[in-house]
A and B are shown apart, each in its own frame.
Chain A
């Protein structure tokens, strides 16, 4: 199946600094990418939807100035957590939707990125 690569898989940063997470679709062009946050033993919480070349659409309650999303190409989206605080520590997962044929609705997930803010 399609592959979505996420990097880094884990990162530790100091409080007040910013950290960037990359999400790449390796073998298909992703017209849309999604960013999720997941707390332990809970379901995935959609943070934002990004379409290539346009501004991301954020879900209610998600601070767009804190979680900067860029989708500069059809294979790359980035999430930057700005001025990180310990409460931002979480598992962040991206997903990508391919835009080809009848499988255009299929969404594949990356392996996730563990963020720990100390």
Chain B
């Protein structure tokens, strides 16, 4: 069945450095790739998403890249801040279909 693999499971960076989280999906029909940030005890918050007709999307310090050929997409956070510390989930889906989630990455930004 469909599968999304996410790496790394934990990531520790110094404040101000960049963080990169990578995901690989198996369903070649997937065309929507959102990223969610989940803080402790809260629901996931959509931070950025990308559709299959776009290779890169940026929103201030956050960017996502998509390589359809290789079936992988990545989240890039630049100039990290302590408040970026959270669990990040990638997901993939076909249009009007359920999201398949990665296993999550616990990001720690050290002050």
Interface residues of chain A, those whose CB is within 8 Å of chain B, are 1, 4, 6, 32, 34, 42-44, 46, 49, 91, 93, 95, 97, 104-112, 114
Known contacts A105-B93, A106-B34, A107-B34: does B46 contact A43 (CB below 8 Å)?
no
Question: What are the 8 closest A-B residue pairs judged by CB atoms, nearest first?
Answer: A112-B43, A109-B43, A111-B43, A109-B44, A105-B32, A93-B43, A43-B101, A43-B103
For B91-111 the 0/1 string (1 means CB < 8 A from A) is 001011011011110000000
Complex formed: what's the CA distance from A6 to B102 in Å?
A: 23
> Min CB distance, A11 to chain B, in Å?
14
Complex formed: what's the CA distance from A108 to B45 in Å?
A: 7
What number of B residues sit within 8 Å (CB to CB) of A? 22
Q: A105-B95, A111-B42 are in contact. List 16 more A-B contacts (CB 8 A).
A: A34-B98, A34-B99, A43-B102, A44-B44, A46-B98, A93-B44, A95-B44, A105-B31, A105-B51, A105-B93, A105-B96, A106-B46, A106-B49, A107-B46, A109-B45, A110-B43
Within 8 A of A (CB), among B27-56: 31-32, 34, 36, 41-46, 49, 51
B89 beta carbon closer than 8 Å to chain A: yes
Task: List the B residue with the shortest CB-CB distance to A105.
Answer: B32
Complex formed: what's the CA distance from A106 to B47 in Å?
A: 11
Complex formed: what's the CA distance from A85 to B36 in Å?
A: 30
Task: List the A residue with the shortest CB-CB distance to B91.
Answer: A107
> Min CB distance, B99 to chain A, in Å?
6
